[in-house]
Amino acid sequence: MITHPAFRVEPWCLRATYLDLSVLAQAESVFALANGHIGWRGNLDEGEPHGLPGSYLNGVYELRPLPYEKAGYGYPESGQTVINVTNGKLIRLLVNDEPFDVRYGELRAHEQCLDFRSGVLHRTADWASAAGCAVRVSSTRLVSFVQRSIAAICYDVEPLDGPARVIVQSELVANERLPSSDGDPRAAAILKAPLMEEEHAAKGARAGLVHSTRDSGLCIAAVMDHVVDGPAATVVQAESFPHLGRVTVTAALEPGQRLRLVKFVAYGWSRSRSLPAVRDQADAALAGASQTGWDQLLAEQRAYLDAFWDRADVELDGDAEIQQAVRFSLFHVLQAGARAEGRAIAAKGLTGPGYDGHCFWDTEAYVLPMLSYVSPEAVAHALRWRHATLPMANERARQLGLQGAAFPWRTIHGEECSGYWPAGTAAFHINADIADAVIHYLDATDDAAFAHSVGLELLAETARLWCSLGQHDAQGRFRIDGVTGPDEYSAIADNNVYTNLMAQQNLRGAADVASRLPDRARELGIHEEETARWRDAAEAMYIPYDDTLGIHPQAEGFTNHQVWDFATTAAEQYPLLLHFPYFDLYRKQVVKQADLVLAMHRRGDAFTAQQKARNFTYYERLTARDSSLSACTQAVIAAEVGHLELAYDYLAEAALIDLDDLEHNTHDGLHIAALAGSWIALVAGLAGTRDRDRTLSFAPRLPEDLSRLALKVCLRRRRLAVDVRTATVTYTLLDGEPMPIAHHGEPMTATLNNPIVRPIPAAPAASPTPTQPPGREPVRRHPRKARR
């Protein structure tokens, strides 16, 4: 999208200056609005044409059967698919009885703008009907961060060159017809008419619909109300049907007159509460929004985002596209999780139905590390959701003959939804990813109440799984055999290095927190003998190493496999999973996404500098990057081992994953973890930020084309500003008590409003730039800089 001529590079917004229907579905994703609870794709107000209609409520799904050629013990019986709920975005317009449709008449001008600072989507259109009657349509759309059940639209119509009779139809529509699936396994299953009618009503300028889902047993209410400002003779009427609520406004406008419609939409849903209770919840939220009014909703939204940007903004000099992209990323990650209270953060957030709306390990491994530094309350909510699913994870572990908890590979509600167990159930590392997020959150916030109520139990139940899944061998090493690591082109491997290192951290972290909270540990049945077993397993954890090659194999025996024949693999055969059987991929040295390289990022303390450099070079030539999760990790380690220009290239790939539609599936939603990865590539990569042993350390260096990188980090009730220039860096503590930090290994203490300026040492001589598989090299960044 960012390379499309309609789109402009601007620091604080994403703007399309005309409408191109060939990229309509992608535009609907990038212009989506959400707050973690409600998600509205950026569809045109009138609803048609569309690429993919989409209105989502976090946690609302329907069940669908998972077909198996041959059933097996422990296979999930059903899957969960996010559904398109009641669409409250629709505002249709008729001008002198001709429908406003951009495909007909004359569209003289069209602009859409997603404003990152105000949190709204603006649209303007100048259109003339086939009969020549011209009007200007303007709308501003908002999904509230402050009132999480509320979305609203301000819609204006004015004639341009003569009188016009206009009819505006504001609608609630359920069971919209969706386009069929394209067969891509990353896409969602399409469920026809998933909503069953329960109630409908309309009166005055209000209408409401209540539906239920047949199999998942959810109740969903959507209600709308309007404030109309038009000529004295304006008429308003409402009507409702089982799947349609409509408020119709009719006005005769003279030149210079305008019809304004402010639409407030409220949603409510529940699995356990009664239909009247859910309906009343939505009605109450609507009443609150109506009392607040449109102008105050806008002011609340701006104030919320002002506070967010004050602690989260990243400034970049030297690359306007990446500056725009990182703010786009931060804004959409915030939208995915800000108000996801008691619910998951899905891989596509609430921007589309991709991956069936499921939450994966992406959340804990990529999204929560970023949010821990800029919006820690969202991290606490996400982890409380995991804790709420603990009974299902415990039951899953028992089903598998294991102790503790076995968290699902992919889910919405908490049950395992992966029908392919080698890439699902066997990917036990998700337990350690959850534990890592808990440990990181506790270190970043010192949230004692969270540790007591949620943190220790999550750490203990995940640690118990490793002790039952692994075993001590004859040499006394603790082995974890038959698991799948982050790289989905390898499965059922022994001693995956990432899994073992993260499990080691999980075991140590559980023992440490249990020792700090002895009373809570006793309540959870954790005794000294058990914590001693955790520590023993951690100390004896087997980490394979190939002495011949001088590198760590991704998993035991990995370097003995045949290297994939990249030379004869055509460009159109990527991603490989769509063109080759997993049986072939599993037997070869080919990497879908950074695995061992991710271990070096997340557990950098387990590797020497020399090992990191050798490992990185080895795995670069094997990594196909068929996953959106790979580039940011490669950027981090490329920067650490001295390949700054390569790190810059990978940063761009992470940041532009959706703005350039690099995975060719932005049409069904954004890649939330990859967008978080652009922040990781800047902060952990170019700024060299690490948080270990309660000391925040930095090792900043900039590639040639960038002259400045400025960021803020919130940690333990402190806020630190880091301003990196070509030759120097300035650390300024903006809030809080003195803070221990380190600069390229030099310890120091930051004190309030007392800037510390340090020179940036020259980078050590790096090894030759590593090579990538033919045709899978990242696009070099700097030649694009002069394009605009």
Q: What are the residue numbers of the active site?
A: 488
How far is the C-alpha of 325 from the C-alpha of 648, rounded, in Å? 14
How far is the C-alpha of 785 from the C-alpha of 335, rounded, in Å? 29
Which residue(s) pair with 696 in the sheet? 691, 741
How far is the C-alpha of 139 from the C-alpha of 42, rounded, in Å? 12
Residue 142 structure tokens: 């908002």
Q: Which residue has the tokens 């707050």?
A: 35
Which residue(s) pair with 262 in the sheet? 154, 227
Asked whether 698 and 729 are in contact (CB, 8 A), the reply is yes
How far is the C-alpha of 332 from the C-alpha of 710, rounded, in Å? 20
3-state per-residue secondary structure call for 85-148? CCECCCEEEEECCEECCCCCCEEEEEEEEEECCCCEEEEEEEEECCCCCEEEEEEEEEECCCCC
Question: H-helix or E-strand containing 465?
Answer: helix 456-469
Antiparallel, parallel or unpaired: β 562-563 and 588-589: parallel
Asked whether 645 and 770 are in contact (CB, 8 A), the reply is no
CA distances from 179 to 312, 337, 663 (A): 37, 27, 20
- Closest by Cα among 157, 170, 284 to 226: 170
The phi-psi region of residue 178 (left if phi > 0; otherwise alpha if psi is between -120 and 50; otherwise beta) is beta
DSSP alpha helices (H): ranges in 318-375? Answer: 320-337, 362, 368-374
Q: Which string of b and e fits 94-120 if b means at least 16 CB within 10 Å?
A: bbbeeebbbeebebeebbbbbbbbbbb
Residue 148 structure tokens: 């999480």
CA distances from 34 to 147, 154, 386, 490, 678 (A): 12, 17, 21, 35, 20
Residue 164 structure tokens: 């016009």
How far is the C-alpha of 721 from the C-alpha of 729, rounded, in Å? 10
